[in-house]
Structure 1
Amino acid sequence: MVIIQNLHKKFGKNQVLKGVDLEITDGGIFAVLGPNGSGKTTLIKSILGMVIPNKGYISVLGENIKNNSGYRHKIDYLPQIANFPNNLKVIELIKMIKDLRRPSNKDQHLIKLFKLDPFIDKKLGNLSGGTKQKVNLVLTFMFDSPLIVLDEPTTGLDPISLIGLKTLIQTEKEKGKTILITSHIMSFVEEVSDEIVFLLDGKIYFKGPISKLKTQTGQPDFELAIASLLTNNYV
């Protein structure tokens, strides 16, 4: 699904990615974790073609992404910050995105799942941050791409919407899709993820299931196991 070899990225004098090697297989939920400045955002944006690496190889869905933008149509991406035109209504934005990409009838189900019906004719500039995040989720999941990338998907969600998001993620996984998630909410990561990828200082320090991480660090608790990676640099 995603193959990364010897990936390097530098911003000025700051070396953000330092020879990353990573393979994400077809199907499953993978959480990309790491402290601020670890390189996880740069890694995700490199996969999406939003950042051009200085060195290395990336293939997505069997395609080398270098000088190739076509593969992006097979990815559904939820950005961390929902930046929408304030003067558009919710329904107008949904229609515009459908017109730009391809026809879809999943939006009605998603609108009901996230209880957006009362807001459908309201302008985006008048919505709360949590409601904008629900709109963001509708735009992400209303297509049927094999790869889904979710950057901090729980931001601003109320408990009911969070349950809906978890159900939605599991439903997409059952269809054989691959889902990449970044999140600072460890309880959410532990509940939904099949594997985690932990970055620190531009390098991968762990890849595998959470049970393996607990065994490797000698910690029965997931958050304590992550803390051990940070303090002891387990490999």
Structure 2
Amino acid sequence: MGEAALHTDQLTKRFGRLTAVDSLDLTVNAGEVFGFLGPNGAGKSTTIRMVLGLVRPTSGRAWVFGDDAADVASAHDRLAHVPADVALWPQLTGAETLELLGRIGPGVDVAYRDELVRRFDLDLSRPAGTYSTGNRQKVALVAAFATRAPLLILDEPTSGLDPLMEREFRNAVREARDRGQAVFLSSHQLAEVEAVCDRVGILRAGRLVDVASIAQLRKLRRTEVEAVFTGRPPNLGAVAGIDGLETATNDDGHLRMRFTLTGRPADALRALADADVDQIAVREPSLEEIFLAYYGDDVR
């Protein structure tokens, strides 16, 4: 696989009595999309700030393609970064901003940048001070994806994007991987990470709980279902993937069932389709709920 794009060894950051990142050992390989997943406040952004040299670790080290991240100039020659909250120069137009960002980075594929501008539907003629949050995010993403940097570090990069632009973002991530770039994607959105990543590091309360493939990550997904039946209910107890089945009778005499569905939903959907379903509600728990249910209080 060659030299790691990003590597950390016992990387730790404490703010007073608070340990934001605790003994983080992580390796991101060249040419892979690595998801850094965890609920808000887990320590993801603090980790990124240490890798970028914006925050000094309390202990431990980080390397970018073998260069110590503490050597900020050298490390930044190999990476491009999109922060969670993008701030631009308000008097510069979008075009001027992209030109400036291109000159201070490791080089730009200008033709690809122009293509991305079209795909992200970005008006470069306006001053950045007039841009919405989503448009500021688009400028930063176009600048990062168009760079020749071998490592892209993206911190909650789609927070201001609509669904169509999220699709373009995912396409651009895949294209970066196809060009051999490494992508380090920090997010709390399970679906986003699942769609584009090869591997995922799961962070909770500053500690790395697990490093998993996407196939392993999918096992964490579960859906809560509640259905009300007017006639004879299905035999859901025999359906694969259903756990925690509860039944009760409503005031109108109709039977109500609640259950948790994991894995493929096909068998459960077939069983429900054959019954007289009067009402159905489906809820996907938050990522934090999934983590708490899966890991409990054990973060080791």
TM-score by length of 1: 0.89
Superposition map of 1:52-201 within 5 A: 52-101=56-105, 102=107, 104-105=109-110, 106-116=112-122, 119-201=123-205
Give identity over the alignment, percent: 26
Whole-angstrom distance in 2 between the partners of 1:234 and 1:211: 21
Larger relative contact order, structure 1 or 2 (CA cutoff 8 Å, min sep 6): 1
Whole-angstrom distance in 2 between the partners of 1:217 and 1:90: 39
Against the structure 1 CA distance between its residues 52 and 229, is the aligned structure 2 distance closer, same or farther, given a 3 Å change threshold? farther
Shift of 1:172: 0.8
Aligned residue number for residue 231 of structure 1:
296
Deviation by residue 1:193-218 (Cα, 9 ceiling, x = unmatched): 11111111221101011322455899
Is the aligned partner of 1:7 residue 2:11? yes
Against the structure 1 CA distance between its residues 216 and 79, is the aligned structure 2 distance closer, same or farther, given a 3 Å change threshold? closer
Match of 2:263 among 200, 220, 232: 220
Aligned residue number for residue 207 of structure 2:
203
Whole-angstrom distance in 1 between the partners of 2:70 and 2:47: 15
Shift of 1:133: 1.4
Whole-angstrom distance in 1 between the partners of 2:116 and 2:72: 31
Whole-angstrom distance in 1 between the partners of 2:127 and 2:46: 32
Structural RMSD (CA):
2.4
Q: Give yes or no for contact 1:39–1:202 (8 Å, CA) kept in 2.
A: yes
Whole-angstrom distance in 2 between the partners of 1:228 and 1:220: 16
More helix by share: 1
More strand by share: 2
Shift of 1:67: 3.8
Whole-angstrom distance in 2 between the partners of 1:175 and 1:9: 33
Q: Rg: which structure is higher? A: 2
TM-score by length of 2: 0.71
Whole-angstrom distance in 2 between the partners of 1:91 and 1:217: 41
Which AA in structure 1 matches 2:116?
L
Whole-angstrom distance in 2 between the partners of 1:87 and 1:37: 33
Whole-angstrom distance in 2 between the partners of 1:26 and 1:158: 29
Aligned length: 233
Unpaired segments ≥5 residues, structure 1: none
Whole-angstrom distance in 1 between the partners of 2:174 and 2:92: 31
